[in-house]
Structure 1
């Protein structure tokens, strides 16, 4: 039995429990080179602890063998034995071995000690300034800590290296450009990634589509999202964006189609229910729209826009009691908005609860004294209360803001 026997079994994916026992017996008579290969086989099989048992004695025998050190350090990392990694790497006192320096950097990155990690990378790069793998690791380091401009400068110098070594630098460039607000360049990098490295992953497709959406390149965004949908229809983040694009084009039926499909994959996304409500409003199906806004609020109790829109629909339906009940419920749940005071004033006015209306109008006035619609509502209330002089003053205030307000002008003329 030779070491080649075990290599052949591994390559044929034919390793068994019996084979592992044979490997243990073989280790007793194996030479050092064969032991190192055995350790590599153990590591490849995910048996890091067995690999460590083989490598540790070898390193004691060959303490200056860098390959053994780096291999053992990787095994310790796999076993989450960070202290052993640091102890092992600290023996690299002169710090002249690039591989060990890079392992140290990885170790410090996992511990969040980024300044120390960067020092190790810098030392490695100083030793081998033309080593593109170190430059790539440096770029990845900056990318990891969110220093995207610094990462970008390094990645740009590595494009040719990436192409010749089948390393997709374009995807990283796209990420960096998007983080610094260069969205058009980011989209271009995704195009280059697709050109040289084939189909984008689902996440890359989403990011490309989202960037196009942000740039208002809606046709591009739609095509990318629909391609993503073909690859993975359960990627539910696309449906709110597809719905928004249809809604912006006033295609409310299509909006509802996208919403329905999105909800089939994620029934807990409040944005989809908000878009459903908005589309139903566009179709003048206001009662259904109100119910959809309520569904959005059930999923996101802090959704103030849905709260205000549902109140507006209640006013259209002349359901003033529900306006008041809604606001009481929202405020009990911790949701507040200045507009609630105005809505309470108007709802109480419609219900002829004049004392309550007066109280809320007084509270709302400092908040909305420059809002033409509020001033008109307030003026109507003052007229009904017989406060003609105050009503005239409020109407004059309104007309100073919007002189062409015909209803306010007519109401003021009637007071004269």
Structure 2
């Protein structure tokens, strides 16, 4: 209501000034236009806000705050060139003002200009208490896996506010990528306690639980991912299958692997490899071979699948002549550069000796 009253008063004032040509020269008009621009901006009418800023600046172009606010709105409206030209002039006039440099850095970042990070560093050099620039620098270091370099900036943010969600997110990512999983778990739990919930948080937390052999807790995170975000994500179903396999619940593992395969338009060879692994854990070599053959149908160049097929046949068939054919098939497809070539060659040699001494 107060904004509406102010808006009406300002509009009436401007209309009165329009009828009096002498009013254009007095500072009061600049102030009225500036305030009106703020009202329009607050109400989301950006085009009229910019118009009022432009009129005010045409009357008075030395007001720093007016230029700053106008340039910020230009940047928010993706009018980057105009905005940057204003901030550039302000920076030249006030070279030690970190806020003008920071705004230029934001504009560079919005345009995917890699030099933005250097501007953020300039800001931090001028003001080590500039927390926004500390965050930008820390995030850049973590994105580029420079974890040691990020530490002082993350610590700076958390010393200013130990409950800062954005800096806790950076800390958790640093801990996650450096496999400091126990600390990462604590940080992610703290973030969830603050009401944070997104795919990355739950995925990373599940991964940390899995890494520390807390399989049930990892499954609980995937349950959240399925319920809140996407129950048709084949990657998650494969990871859940791996967790159930670790818990020796092979039936549930098989179920999730079949779901993953069914969700993929062209079933991936790796999905069948996981299914084969599940059967092998149970000593079910017949079904392991079936899964490996499907893996090869989907990717005939899957060297590991071809070799594992021979190993599975070795476990399943009593007839060593049949087994020999599988290993020789692998050797036929892969030369001495094959990853399992030496193993396959040795097994062929052993099988031939067995067959010779058994009279076959």
TM-score (norm 2): 0.72
* 1:213 paired residue number: 210
Q: Secondary structure at the match of 2:161?
A: helix
What is the alpha-carbon root mean square deviation over aligned residues?
4.5
Q: Of residues 344, 347, 359 in structure 2, which corresponds to 1:373?
A: 347
User: 2:293, 2:56 → 1: CA distance?
Assistant: 69
Tell me if the contact between 1:39 and 1:50 (Cα under 8 Å) persists in the aligned partners. yes
* 1:99 to 2:99 alignment: yes
Q: Of residues 239, 242, 254 in structure 1, which corresponds to 2:240?
A: 242
- CA change 1:268–1:170 in 2 (3 A) is farther
Q: Using CA pairs below 8 Å that are at least 6 residues apart, which structure has the higher relative contact order?
A: 2
Q: Secondary structure at the match of 1:77?
A: helix
User: 2:241, 2:168 → 1: CA distance?
Assistant: 30
* 2:160 paired residue number: 161
- CA change 1:300–1:376 in 2 (3 A) is closer
* 2:176 paired residue number: 178
* 1:136 to 2:135 alignment: yes
Alignment gaps of 5+ in structure 1 = 9-22, 328-338, 346-359, 384-410
* 1:222 to 2:214 alignment: no
- CA change 1:376–1:183 in 2 (3 A) is same
User: 1:199, 1:2 → 2: CA distance?
Assistant: 34
* 1:125 paired residue number: 124
CA apart distance, 1:38? 4.8
CA apart distance, 1:241? 1.6
- CA change 1:79–1:133 in 2 (3 A) is closer
Q: Secondary structure at the match of 1:90?
A: helix
CA apart distance, 1:190? 1.0
The within-5 A match list for 1:58-73 is 58-73=56-71
Tell me if the contact between 2:285 and 2:313 (Cα under 8 Å) persists in the aligned partners. no
Tell me if the contact between 1:152 and 1:177 (Cα under 8 Å) persists in the aligned partners. no
CA apart distance, 1:80? 3.6
Which structure would you say has the larger Rg? 1
- CA change 1:368–1:179 in 2 (3 A) is closer
Cα deviations across residues 69-120 of structure 1 (Å, max 9, x unaligned)? 3433334334444332332222120423322110111223345554x53443
* 1:200 to 2:200 alignment: no
The within-5 A match list for 1:351-366 is none
User: 2:88, 2:213 → 1: CA distance?
Assistant: 53
User: 1:265, 1:25 → 2: CA distance?
Assistant: 63
User: 1:204, 1:132 → 2: CA distance?
Assistant: 23
Q: Of residues 77, 81, 84 in structure 1, which corresponds to 2:82?
A: 84
Say how many residue pairs are matched. 339
CA apart distance, 1:210? 0.9
User: 1:302, 1:5 → 2: CA distance?
Assistant: 74
CA apart distance, 1:283? 4.9
- CA change 1:105–1:374 in 2 (3 A) is same
- CA change 1:40–1:261 in 2 (3 A) is farther
User: 2:174, 2:337 → 1: CA distance?
Assistant: 49
- CA change 1:250–1:27 in 2 (3 A) is farther
User: 1:245, 1:268 → 2: CA distance?
Assistant: 24
Alignment gaps of 5+ in structure 2 = 18-28
Q: Secondary structure at the match of 2:243?
A: helix
CA apart distance, 1:161? 2.7
* 1:279 paired residue number: 278
Cα deviations across residues 308-340 of structure 1 (Å, max 9, x unaligned)? 33455567578x99x99xx9xxxxxxxxxxx77
* 1:54 paired residue number: 52
